[in-house]
Each structure stands twice: as C-alpha cells, then as structure tokens.
Chains A and B, each alone.
Chain A
Amino acid sequence: MRDFPEHPDWLWSSPQPKRSYDVVIVGGGGHGLATAYYLAKNHGITDVAVLERGWLAGGNMARNTTIIRSNYLWDESAGIYEHALKLWEGLEEDLGYPILFSRRGVLNLAHSLQDVRESVRRVHANRLNGIDAEWLGPEEVKEVCPIVNVSPGVRYPVLGATYQPRAGIAKHDYVAWGYARAAAAMGVHLVENCEVTGIEVTGGRVRAVETAQGRIAAGTVALCAAGHSSVVGAMAGVKLPLQSHPLQALVSELLEPVHPTVVMSNAVHVYVSQAHKGELVMGAGIDAYNSYRQRGAFHIIERQMSAALELFPIFARAHVLRTWGGVVDVSPDASPIVGPTPVENLYVNCGWGTGGFKATPGVGWCYAHTIAHGEPHPLNAPFSLERFTTGALVDEHGAAAVAH
C-alpha cells in the first residue's frame, strides 16, 4: 500500500461569481467538476462556473464506495464505462495529482444456476466489446480472493464469478480535488455555498439561473445534481423519470490487508473491498422508499452484514466504525440520462443512481462534448431522455442492481 500525500492546502480559488457565464454547471460533485475540466481542456471553453449548494464534492462523490469497473452487459454501457476506465488508467498523469487508482480486479459472484448463466453471458458480451472478463470457478475465485468462503455447505454457495482484472478502486476525494484544481487552473470558477433556486426559461430557451448569490445569466446550463436532479429539473419544467433513494455504506476499523480485490454479490446483496488505509468498505442496495434524507435504516446494514459474514467468515470480529448514506437518482432501466432536454441549451446528466463514480471521467468527457457541440457524443447518444418514449431502454438491472 502507498503512502498518502500531505493533506492539501486550498487547491482552487473561490471567486465571487460573475453575473454571466457561457456555461453554468449545477452541482459540484465529481461529474460537475469533470465536465468543467473537459470543457476547458478538450474544447477550450473556460467561461464556466460550477455552482455548488454546499461544499465541493460533499454529495455522493464523498459518500461512494469507489468501485470502478466496466463489465456491464450491453454495448451502450460497455462503451461509456470502458471509455471511463481507459481515462482512469491515465488520470493521475493527466491531472498531475494522485488519485490512488488501484487496479485490483472485481469478482461478481454467482450463487445460482441462473446467476451462472447470466454471468457467463456477460463475460462473452464483455469480450466482444474488448473488455477484459473471465469466468472463474469456485477454486479460482479462492485463488484471487483467499478469504471468500467457497464451501458448498452455505445457504448461497459460490458457484463461480466473473472477474475483471482491470477494475479497482480510487480515492474519491482526491479525484474531486484533482479535477477541481485542474479546472480552476484553466479559469473555471468553482462557487460553493451557491444553491440554484430557479432556472429562467423564456421562449423555450434557458437564460439564467437564480442562486443563493443572485441571478447568473448563462448561455448554457448543464445539470449535474445527482440525487437532486428531479428538483432542479422541475425548476425548468423538465420532468425526469427518476426516483431519489437513500443508499448506505459502512466501514470497519482499520485492519491489516486481508482483502486483495473487490467482491460483489447481487444475490446475497453485499459488496466489499478494503480501502488503502485498511478499512473494509461495504455496501448493499438502496433503501426502498423515496427520500432526500442522507440516511437510511439500520436493518439494511444488519442484512448486509449477515450477507458479508456468510461470504467472509473472517470478518466476524471486525467492528463497524461508521455508517452513512447518500441520495441516489434511480432511473427505470438502471442506466443514466445524459443529453439535451426539451429546453434549448439546457442539458441533463443524471440517473447514475448507485453506480456513477466509476463513470466520472467518461461522463465528464462525453457531457462536455455534448455541451460544446450542442449534440451528444456517440458514447452518450444512447442515454437520451427520449429513450423512455421510443422504448430503446438500456436495461442494466442485471449488471447494476446491487452493484456499484
């Protein structure tokens, strides 16, 4: 494991917002910051403000469990997640900032015959898309991750797993800081404590945003509000097919390195990795009801712990140190929505639900392209808002359900 860099001083300036910008990005999470960075870097658009209600990356960006992978089923998803993964591989160099991307692989476990069939199918689909994917039997699973219980006697035995060696984890706050620093250096304004409270639309076209710091005119407004996307969309009269749910996670106290990879199980509903510092990081599915409270119920944690213990008996004496929750924007097909809206010059990026951290560089790249060119990048074109009308859904429930 690597040493950590010193805790940084301020990495970006906090300017007073101007009265007008070419592009206003609503939401200073990972996606908003990455979008600002690629607008400046790839398209030379630097008259950009990122408006954040709270502090930068204080939303889901600081709350996720940092799993990065691209082994989704459909071509459309493979395209954008694999683009992101390739960017992750060079991101530290690109940003000139450590992000501690640790390529340690991900195992997606199969516990039933149906799981096995779906998993093998996904491995083949991944390979056709040039994504590294293998099917492993129980003994091979044990070789990759010796602490997984593969004995046949448990309630949900491990019948095998898909394995993506290039998957991994990164340090989410460093990713945000890296993007923020690099974007600010190119002239982007990062404005904290600046909640957007209204969106001004006249003649079918977006003109400005109302904020806690006054009215700010905008040529283009790009939403990146994750769990609050429905709320900001409604400000412009744009209804989105999203439901906001609490999603929880937890960490144990610091432990010796015991867990070399990332293990996910949809069937028993848990996923586990071990962070750089040594905490076990675990999560599961969303809390069932709609809510904007960043907390969930303890029975969800209890269930994920019992699932974790069945898979990893060695964790029996580990203590939970901290649990928390974020608010995630869940779409009907478990795929994101990235592109234009019925309002001219208003773009939306949302619906990443439980799994948008891994996409951060990829979506930033494609969303910036969409904003700069006024039309989607080929990789986000399938993720249009219209797909819910045309029926061209990208159903990733299988690859995304519990998975992050």
Chain B
Amino acid sequence: MLLIPCPWCGPRDEAEFRYGGQAHVAYPEDPAALSDEEWARYLFFRDNPKGRFAERWNHTAGCRRWFNVVRDTATNEWVSA
C-alpha cells in the first residue's frame, strides 16, 4: 500500500485517498473554439509516463482536500510533495 504524503495530515495509508489522475489539466478557456481533435485531446488523452508523473489525490477519509504530488511511476517513490 502506498504511504501518501498529504500536505496537511502527513503520510497516511493509501486506503484513505481517492486518486485524481494527472495534475494541471486545465479546462479549455474557450471550449467551443476547439477542433474535434483538440477536444479529444482534452477529454481522453492524459500523460502516461514511465517515470515522473505529477498527479492529484484527494484525502477523502481525512482532511478531504485535493493536492498535487510528483511520483515516479516506475518505482512508486515520491519525488516531491
């Protein structure tokens, strides 16, 4: 089980969290202006690196706040919290 570094509660068991996938995916400023291709990119395509990945977690069974961390998906080690 991952020990996840909640910036407010400290390291807690993975079972207390909900995963939120890739971090920093902004909602398009003007969605109507996007081509189908660009809309598909926004909707369905996320980074999937083997290595450093900035991701979101929600501490659902704790402080219930969202936060971002960087984890190495090849080793599951935290790179930065």
Asked if A332 lies at the interface with its beta carbon under 8 angstroms from chain B, I say: yes
Residues of A near B14 (CB, < 8 A) are: 297, 299
B45 in contact with A289 (CB, 8 Å): no
Knowing A231-B50, A389-B36, the reply to whether A293 touches B74 (Cβ < 8 A) is yes
Closest CB in chain A relative to B19 CB, distance in Å: 4
Residues of B near A239 (CB, < 8 A) are: 45
A288 in contact with B76 (CB, 8 Å): no
Comparing A241-249, A250-258, A375-383, the segment that makes contact with chain B is A241-249
Q: Which of B13, B15, B73 contacts A291 (CB 8 A)?
A: B73
Asked if A292 lies at the interface with its beta carbon under 8 angstroms from chain B, I say: yes
Looking at chain B's contact residues, the main secondary structure is mixed
Asked if B30 lies at the interface with its beta carbon under 8 angstroms from chain A, I say: no
Residues of A within 8 A of B (CB): 228, 230-231, 239-244, 288-293, 297-299, 332, 388-391
A291 in contact with B76 (CB, 8 Å): yes
A388 in contact with B40 (CB, 8 Å): yes
Closest CB in chain A relative to B6 CB, distance in Å: 15
* CB nearest neighbor in A for B4: A289
Closest CB in chain B relative to A379 CB, distance in Å: 23
Residues of B near A388 (CB, < 8 A) are: 40, 43-45
- List, sorted by A's number, 20 A–B pairs whose CB atoms are closer than 8 Å: A243-B21, A243-B48, A288-B18, A288-B19, A289-B2, A289-B19, A289-B55, A290-B21, A290-B73, A291-B73, A291-B76, A293-B74, A297-B1, A299-B14, A299-B15, A332-B44, A388-B40, A388-B43, A388-B44, A389-B40
* CB nearest neighbor in A for B15: A299
Closest CB in chain A relative to B40 CB, distance in Å: 4
Q: What band does the interface of chain B fall in when counting residues whose beta carbon is under 8 Å from A?
A: 20 to 34
B1 in contact with A292 (CB, 8 Å): no
Residues of B near A288 (CB, < 8 A) are: 18-19
Residues of A near B40 (CB, < 8 A) are: 241, 388-389
Q: Which of A290, A293, A297, A390 contacts B53 (CB 8 A)?
A: A290
* CB nearest neighbor in B for A246: B76
Residues of A near B21 (CB, < 8 A) are: 243, 290
Residues of B within 8 A of A (CB): 1-2, 13-15, 18-19, 21, 36-37, 40, 43-46, 48-50, 53, 55, 71, 73-76
Extra 18 A-B pairs, beta carbons < 8 Å, given A244-B50, A293-B73: A228-B50, A231-B48, A240-B45, A241-B40, A241-B46, A243-B46, A243-B48, A244-B73, A288-B19, A289-B19, A290-B21, A291-B76, A293-B76, A297-B15, A332-B44, A388-B40, A389-B40, A391-B36
B2 in contact with A244 (CB, 8 Å): no
A241 in contact with B44 (CB, 8 Å): yes
A230 in contact with B76 (CB, 8 Å): no
Knowing A231-B50, A241-B45, the reply to whether A290 touches B55 (Cβ < 8 A) is yes
Q: Which of B1, B43, B71, B73 contacts A299 (CB 8 A)?
A: B1
A292 in contact with B73 (CB, 8 Å): yes
A389 in contact with B75 (CB, 8 Å): no
* CB nearest neighbor in A for B13: A299
The residue among A290, A388, A390 with the most chain B CB atoms within 10 A of its own CB is: A290
A389 in contact with B37 (CB, 8 Å): yes
User: How many Å lie between the Cα of A273 and that of B81 in the bound state?
Assistant: 42
User: How many Å lie between the Cα of A388 and that of B41 in the bound state?
Assistant: 8
User: How many Å lie between the Cα of A298 and that of B74 in the bound state?
Assistant: 19
B73 in contact with A297 (CB, 8 Å): no
User: How many Å lie between the Cα of A288 and that of B74 in the bound state?
Assistant: 15
Knowing A290-B21, A389-B40, the reply to whether A297 touches B45 (Cβ < 8 A) is no
User: How many Å lie between the Cα of A292 and that of B37 in the bound state?
Assistant: 28
Residues of B near A242 (CB, < 8 A) are: 48
Residues of A near B74 (CB, < 8 A) are: 292-293
Residues of A near B44 (CB, < 8 A) are: 241, 332, 388
Residues of B near A241 (CB, < 8 A) are: 40, 44-46
Knowing A299-B14, A390-B36, the reply to whether A293 touches B75 (Cβ < 8 A) is yes
Closest CB in chain A relative to B12 CB, distance in Å: 13
A298 in contact with B73 (CB, 8 Å): no
User: How many Å lie between the Cα of A219 and that of B17 in the bound state?
Assistant: 47
Top 6 nearest A-B pairs by Cβ distance?
A230-B48, A288-B19, A297-B1, A241-B44, A389-B40, A388-B44
Residues of A near B71 (CB, < 8 A) are: 289
User: How many Å lie between the Cα of A293 and that of B53 in the bound state?
Assistant: 14
User: How many Å lie between the Cα of A297 and that of B2 in the bound state?
Assistant: 7
Residues of A near B55 (CB, < 8 A) are: 289-290
Residues of B near A332 (CB, < 8 A) are: 43-44
